[in-house]
């Protein structure tokens, strides 16, 4: 039985419910409670683990032979506009409908991946739909390294077919993804005390975005731009660095960087800074039309600044460190094969903290990129840490699930779906490496601006994908 308007409305009912619950990465308890309570209300068996992953079972008489995993992640990337007041630990997201889109004012929407969770809940509650046995898997902390998926005991799953709903283009069927890791650096800082005038420089208005999906869009990384700016100003006038802070997620291209500086000739500094930033704006305006800045001159006072050596070290790192696309695939057209993103730049009491998100669709290339960074940072007296590793999802030559999805998509739309590999990481990689013989695909509605405050879900796209999923599940019985 195909779904009707009421069925699709239930998807958005559940999405609104999820938005009302704070569920940024690392804040998973309440959203997991919601999933557990859903299972109890609908008399469905469930499992919840110490990582707050939740599995909900809806078996048929053919379980487990006909079972299918429906999977999405519970966490969202929490970003907000600079001047917007919200506590992501306590406050929910307020979605709104605008010009055919579902969006949120001043914050990320969390359609990545809340719309997947909402679709799965709408399917689980609907006993009119003809489906195979369903193992609904809701994982946690995907956005900070697929933490939940890695912790999940996959022996709790019997299915050998899996539909991940974390792709972000309705016209694309994803069949392979990159592996990745987080590379962290702690550059030790020596401080000195000076009497000078504080100057705050905020580089802002950049697009930012997902460091996998948008890495090829030529978007400017605010942290890298800060290095360029500081290096130029170093050759123009004397100044000190109090702190440098940009981005808080390694997998998000930072759209803003705040520099706390000081100078004895603040007006001269501001004039030279304005002139250079205007030059940069002219250079990047075609790809970053909203780039702008603030320069605020404060009071003269006693300030704690980085020593000259530490200052030079951090400027050198930001100016010269690898960032962006490293290699394009020679096998798959227009696929970024290997990249990295300096997503976090943070001044702490004992040093400057940097974190890069590394990605590659080839494990050997990812290993080499990690070696490259180790070699680069050897010349600085710093601590490096590698973590958050997740595997690649290799393309399967034969996939019954892929074939059936393509047929279903064509039957409902009259068009061919695009079968692609992506440079971003997907939890499919973790499940495929843990469950031998797993036949896996990733689909999803079109989401624009994921991980940014411009995140938008095309409402008609969510309806389209939900209908395709319902039709596909009927064929899998």
Residues 294, 443, single domain; the answer is no
Which residue range is the domain that position 234 belongs to? 181-389
Q: CA distances (Å), 370 to each of 116, 247, 315, 356, 460, in order?
A: 32, 21, 22, 10, 41
Marked catalytic residue, from 75, 168, 214, 427: 75
Picking from 337, 357, 389, the residue at the C-terminal end of a domain is: 389
- Owner of token pair 């971003």: 424
pLDDT tens-digit series, residues 422-442? 898 789 999 999 999 999 999
Which residues are registered as beta bridge partners of 190? none
* DSSP code for 91: P
pLDDT tens-digit series, residues 237-288? 999 999 999 999 999 999 999 999 999 999 999 999 999 999 999 999 999 9
- pLDDT class of 346 with cuts at 50, 70, 90: very high
Residues 324, 273, single domain; the answer is yes
What pLDDT does residue 152 have? 98
Q: What is the dihedral of CA 55, 61, 63, 66, to 10 degrees?
A: -110
Marked catalytic residue, from 142, 169, 337, 420: 142
Residues 355, 422, single domain; the answer is no
Mean pLDDT of the chain, nearest integer: 95
Picking from 344, 364, 389, the residue at the C-terminal end of a domain is: 389
Question: Does position 4 have pLDDT exceeding 80, yes or no?
Answer: no
Which uninterrupted H or E stretch holds 7?
helix 5-19
Residues 185, 168, single domain; the answer is no
Residues 320, 413, single domain; the answer is no
Residues 288, 310, single domain; the answer is yes
CATH number of 152's domain? 3.40.630.10
Question: Does position 323 have pLDDT exceeding 60, yes or no?
Answer: yes
Residues 36, 160, single domain; the answer is yes
Residues 414, 437, single domain; the answer is yes
Question: Does position 1 have pLDDT exceeding 60, yes or no?
Answer: no
CATH number of 247's domain? 3.30.70.360
pLDDT tens-digit series, residues 148-200? 999 999 999 999 999 999 999 999 999 989 999 999 999 999 999 999 999 99
Residues 222, 354, single domain; the answer is yes
Angle 159-162-167 (CA atoms, 0-180°, nearest 5)? Answer: 165
Full DSSP string of 420-435: EE-SS--THHHHHHHS
What pLDDT does residue 135 have? 98
pLDDT tens-digit series, residues 8-27? 999 999 999 999 999 999 99
Question: Does position 377 have pLDDT exceeding 70, yes or no?
Answer: yes
Residues 254, 370, single domain; the answer is yes
Q: How far apart are CA 323 and CA 336, in angstroms?
A: 13
Q: How far apart are CA 422 and CA 18, in angstroms?
A: 27
What pLDDT does residue 3 have? 66
Q: How many domains, the chain?
A: 2
Structure tokens at 342: 């300096």
Residues 80, 199, single domain; the answer is no
142 counts as catalytic:
yes
Question: Does position 332 have pLDDT exceeding 90, yes or no?
Answer: no
Q: Are strands 456-458 and 439-442 parallel, antiparallel or unpaired?
A: unpaired
Residues 70, 200, single domain; the answer is no
What pLDDT does residue 2 have? 55
What pLDDT does residue 330 have? 85
Picking from 369, 389, 409, the residue at the C-terminal end of a domain is: 389
pLDDT tens-digit series, residues 86-117? 999 999 999 999 999 999 989 999 999 999 99
Question: Rg of the chain over CA atoms, in angstroms?
Answer: 24
Q: Where are the alpha helices (DSSP H) in 321-451?
A: 363-377, 400-413, 428-434
């Amino acid at each position: 039985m195909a779904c009707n308007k009421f069925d699709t409305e239930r998807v958005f009912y559940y999405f609104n419910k999820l938005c009302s619950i704070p569920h940024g990465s690392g804040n998973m308890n309440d959203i997991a409670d919601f999933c557990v309570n859903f299972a109890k209300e609908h008399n469905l068996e469930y499992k919840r683990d110490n990582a707050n992953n939740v599995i909900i079972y809806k078996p048929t008489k053919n379980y487990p032979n006909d079972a299918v995993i429906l999977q999405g992640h519970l966490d969202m990337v929490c970003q907000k506009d600079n001047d917007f007041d919200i506590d992501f630990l306590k406050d929910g997201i307020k979605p709104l409908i605008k010009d055919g889109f579902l969006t949120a004012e001043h914050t990320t929407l969390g359609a990545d991946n809340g719309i997947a969770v909402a679709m799965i809940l709408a399917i689980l509650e609907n006993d009119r739909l003809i489906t195979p046995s369903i193992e609904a898997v809701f994982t946690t902390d995907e956005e900070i390294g697929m933490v939940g998926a890695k912790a999940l005991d996959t022996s709790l799953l019997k299915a050998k077919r899996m539909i991940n709903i974390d792709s972000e283009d309705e016209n694309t069927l994803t069949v392979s993804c990159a592996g990745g890791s987080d590379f962290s650096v702690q550059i030790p800082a020596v401080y000195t005390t000076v009497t000078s005038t504080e100057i705050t420089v905020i580089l802002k208005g950049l697009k930012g975005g997902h460091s996998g999906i948008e890495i090829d869009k030529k978007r400017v990384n605010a942290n890298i731009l800060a290095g360029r700016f500081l290096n130029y100003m170093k050759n123009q006038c004397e100044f000190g660095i109090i702190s440098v802070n940009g981005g808080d997620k390694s997998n998000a291209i930072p759209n803003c960087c705040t520099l706390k500086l000081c100078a004895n000739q603040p007006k001269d500094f501001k004039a030279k800074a304005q002139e250079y930033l205007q030059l940069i704006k002219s250079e990047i305006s075609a790809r970053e039309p909203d780039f702008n800045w603030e320069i605020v001159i404060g009071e003269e006072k006693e300030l704690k600044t980085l020593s000259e050596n530490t200052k030079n070290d951090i400027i050198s790192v930001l100016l010269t460190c690898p960032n962006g696309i490293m290699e394009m695939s020679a096998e798959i057209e227009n696929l970024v094969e290997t990249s990295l993103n300096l997503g976090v730049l943070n001044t702490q009491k004992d040093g400057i903290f940097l974190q890069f998100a590394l990605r590659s669709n080839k494990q050997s290339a990812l290993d080499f990129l990690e070696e490259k960074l180790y070699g680069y940072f050897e010349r600085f007296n710093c601590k490096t840490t590698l973590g958050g590793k997740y595997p690649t999802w290799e393309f399967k030559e034969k996939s019954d699930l892929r074939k059936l999805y393509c047929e279903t998509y064509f039957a409902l739309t009259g068009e061919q779906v695009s079968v692609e590999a992506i440079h971003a990481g997907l939890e499919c990689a973790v499940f495929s490496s843990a469950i031998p013989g797993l036949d896996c695909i990733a689909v999803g509605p079109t989401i624009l601006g994921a991980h940014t405050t411009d995140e938008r879900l095309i409402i008609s796209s969510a309806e389209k994908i939900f209908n395709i999923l319902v039709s596909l599940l009927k064929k899998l019985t």
